[in-house]
Copies of this chain bind each other. A is one copy, B any other.
Amino acid sequence: MISKVRAAMTGLVGSKSTKQSIKPDVCQQDKEPPKTEIPSPRVPCRPGFLSLTPEELQASEDHTSRIILSPKNPGELHWGTGYAEVVNAGKSLHNEDQACCEYITVEMRDGKSNDCLKEFPESGQSIIQKQESLDQVDDEIGFSYWGLFDGHAGCGCAMFAAKLLHFHICDQLRDLVSILRQSVATPAPLCLVHDTTENAAGTPKEKKTQPPLDTELRFHLEKQVFPESLVIGALENAFREMDKQIETERTTHKIDGGCCALVAVHLMGKIYVANAGDSRAIIIRQGKPIPMSQEFTPETERQRVQFLGFLKPELLGNEFTCLEFPRRIQQKELKKRMLYRDHTMTGWAYKTIVEDDMKFPLIYGEGKKARVMATIGVTRGLGDHDLKVYNSNIYIKPFLSCAPGVRVYDLSEYDHDANDVMVMGTDGLWDVIKDEEVADIVQRVFASHDNDDQSNRYSLVAKELVLRTRGVLKENSWRLASGSQASVDDISVFVIPLAEGHRSL
């Protein structure tokens, strides 16, 4: 089926943090990804909300000074979110991290028109007015959105995803507006009874997509599905659609590389954190860290990746073995007994080495050095459709997943004060700092600025976190205050005040 979606996203590239509404019309089930114009990936680009001048942009890419950047007007980001970033120490030419912070209004899909351009908010329309009148508008909901995208093997994919993933989320939510506006305790209708008519091609054309109450007979074995699960499903499908769009448009737009994606969505009183890769989010409540994401790496996903290699050995290209060994095997060790583990095992056992075991292990290495097919250190993310094992025709993409893990935090279950925050960071942050240390720094920054202007308190925390993990340059080496190796990777951090979530409920 060919869809007729034409999402009018042109012109949103590099936008500042704004409150936006999109309404791409979908008249058929299988949606074509929204289209947009993106800058050439060869042009370095930083988040629009930093409002960098060309000179500042150039200075931001200096791998020796590693200037820490944050928005010029503290508090300008949605919820007064703090943000800071720094470029790597020379690992790649550009900063491959990207970020996005938006408020999005989701309008119910009603199918009245196929021409979404007409319905797209004209420039100059008061979006804030839209948000304020939200409670009076039955056919829309809004969500706050923060996204971090840690690119690899190029900037293109992270830039593309930073520009578009929230629109995919919006698009997925458009069918759910009326369901989500019900009580969270009301089960979702299992089947939507549409008024459908056949179009010329014989495929159904949906005229009325607003779900009525579920009037179907209740069956013996029937699951109840609550709105929260639909939002999780919407996030999962948005990641999938985003990845499909990258695949489809990667040649046209020269989208190079891939990226980890970590996004937070605040919707109807809950924060949904969706993560694909090794970025991380933690909530700090009353000074205590609460993990809000899981990492997807060759170590944490070894069994899934090995299982696929076991079931589809043709994907290994006769170069790799899906068994794991604790180190490379030497030719002289053939017929000796060595530790191994397969996709069914968490422990280790000895096996006699045979010729087939001499192939390179599909998963190899430990910690930050663990790799899939000796190439990539994360197992989930967006893009990487062209990624191959060096000097071979073996594609790595089948082993990577674009499905995020999603965790939900119900803001209404707790009281939050101004010191309770969610910290989102790319791996550049977490590589050199523990959750407890982050919680400690956050508390100390707040304590030392209690009497200052409060508009920039979250920005100060973000900058301090980047400063502490970037460290200082001593004798050509970036060092933490403790003297140990600081982060030489790109670092990007959001610090989100949770108390704001109560105000916007």
CB contacts (< 8 Å) of A204 on chain B: these are 335, 352
Q: In the complex the two chains form, is A225's CB within 8 Å of B337's CB? A: no
Closest to A198 in B: B335
- With both chains docked as a complex, state the minimum distance between the C-beta of A262 and any C-beta of chain B, in angstroms: 17
- Determine which of B233, B344, B351 lies in contact with A236 in the assembled complex, contact meaning CB atoms within 8 Å: B344
Chain B proximity mask over A153-197: 1 for CB below 8 Å, otherwise 0: 000000000000000000010010000000000001011111010
Whether a CB of chain B sits under 8 angstroms from the CB of A406 is: yes
Whether a CB of chain B sits under 8 angstroms from the CB of A401 is: yes
A339 and B221 contact, Cβ closer than 8 Å, known pairs A234-B347, A345-B233, A347-B406: no
A406→B344 CA distance, assembly (Å):
11
- Determine which of B234, B236, B369 lies in contact with A346 in the assembled complex, contact meaning CB atoms within 8 Å: B236
- With both chains docked as a complex, state the minimum distance between the C-beta of A427 and any C-beta of chain B, in angstroms: 19
Among listed A132-140, A305-313, A442-450, interface-contacting one: A305-313
CB contacts (< 8 Å) of A229 on chain B: these are 346-348
A175→B196 CA distance, assembly (Å):
68
Q: In the complex the two chains form, is B338's CB within 8 Å of A191's CB? A: yes
Closest to A224 in B: B326
Whether a CB of chain B sits under 8 angstroms from the CB of A284 is: no
A311→B315 CA distance, assembly (Å):
12
Chain B proximity mask over A235-263: 1 for CB below 8 Å, otherwise 0: 11100100000000000000000000000
A365 and B191 contact, Cβ closer than 8 Å, known pairs A29-B352, A308-B311: no
Q: In the complex the two chains form, is A333's CB within 8 Å of B236's CB? A: no
Whether a CB of chain B sits under 8 angstroms from the CB of A349 is: yes
Whether a CB of chain B sits under 8 angstroms from the CB of A328 is: yes
Would you list which residues of chain A between 317 and 344 have a CB under 8 Å from chain B? 325-330, 333, 335-339, 341, 344
A233→B351 CA distance, assembly (Å):
11
Whether a CB of chain B sits under 8 angstroms from the CB of A223 is: yes
Closest to A196 in B: B335
CB contacts (< 8 Å) of A172 on chain B: these are 349
Q: In the complex the two chains form, is B232's CB within 8 Å of A327's CB? A: no
Q: In the complex the two chains form, is B192's CB within 8 Å of A337's CB? A: yes
Closest to A336 in B: B191
Whether a CB of chain B sits under 8 angstroms from the CB of A350 is: yes
CB contacts (< 8 Å) of A341 on chain B: these are 233
Q: In the complex the two chains form, is A366's CB within 8 Å of B326's CB? A: no
Would you list which residues of chain A between 347 and 376 have a CB under 8 Å from chain B? 347-352, 364-366, 369
CB contacts (< 8 Å) of A413 on chain B: these are none
A346→B304 CA distance, assembly (Å):
16
- Determine which of B190, B193, B349 lies in contact with A326 in the assembled complex, contact meaning CB atoms within 8 Å: B190
Q: In the complex the two chains form, is A403's CB within 8 Å of B233's CB? A: no
Whether a CB of chain B sits under 8 angstroms from the CB of A231 is: yes
Copies of the protein in its oligomer? 2
A263→B459 CA distance, assembly (Å):
54
Most interface-central of A194, A350, A406 (chain B CB within 10 A): A350
Whether a CB of chain B sits under 8 angstroms from the CB of A230 is: yes
Chain A interface residue count, Cβ-Cβ cutoff 8 angstroms: 62
Most interface-central of A232, A337, A344 (chain B CB within 10 A): A337
A232 and B346 contact, Cβ closer than 8 Å, known pairs A221-B364, A335-B204, A366-B223: yes
Whether a CB of chain B sits under 8 angstroms from the CB of A219 is: yes
A225 and B328 contact, Cβ closer than 8 Å, known pairs A307-B307, A311-B312: no
A230 and B348 contact, Cβ closer than 8 Å, known pairs A326-B223, A327-B222: yes
Chain B proximity mask over A395-410: 1 for CB below 8 Å, otherwise 0: 0000001010010000
A224→B367 CA distance, assembly (Å):
12
A224→B406 CA distance, assembly (Å):
32
A327 and B223 contact, Cβ closer than 8 Å, known pairs A230-B347, A347-B230: yes
- With both chains docked as a complex, state the minimum distance between the C-beta of A173 and any C-beta of chain B, in angstroms: 11
Would you list which residues of chain A between 408 and 450 have a CB under 8 Å from chain B? none
Would you list which residues of chain A between 273 and 328 have a CB under 8 Å from chain B? 304, 307-308, 311-312, 325-328
Closest to A209 in B: B337
A336→B212 CA distance, assembly (Å):
13
- With both chains docked as a complex, state the minimum distance between the C-beta of A343 and any C-beta of chain B, in angstroms: 9
Known: A221-B364, A221-B366, A233-B345. 15 other contacts (CB 8 A): A175-B350, A190-B327, A191-B329, A191-B339, A192-B336, A194-B336, A221-B327, A222-B326, A223-B326, A223-B366, A225-B348, A229-B348, A232-B348, A233-B348, A308-B311
What residues make up the interface of A, taking CB atoms closer than 8 Å to B? 29, 172, 175, 188, 190-194, 196, 204, 216, 219, 221-225, 229-237, 240, 304, 307-308, 311-312, 325-330, 333, 335-339, 341, 344-352, 364-366, 369, 401, 403, 406
Could you list 15 A-B pairs, sorted by A, with CB under 8 Å?
A: A29-B351, A172-B349, A190-B327, A191-B329, A196-B336, A204-B335, A221-B365, A229-B346, A232-B347, A233-B341, A233-B345, A233-B347, A236-B347, A237-B345, A237-B349
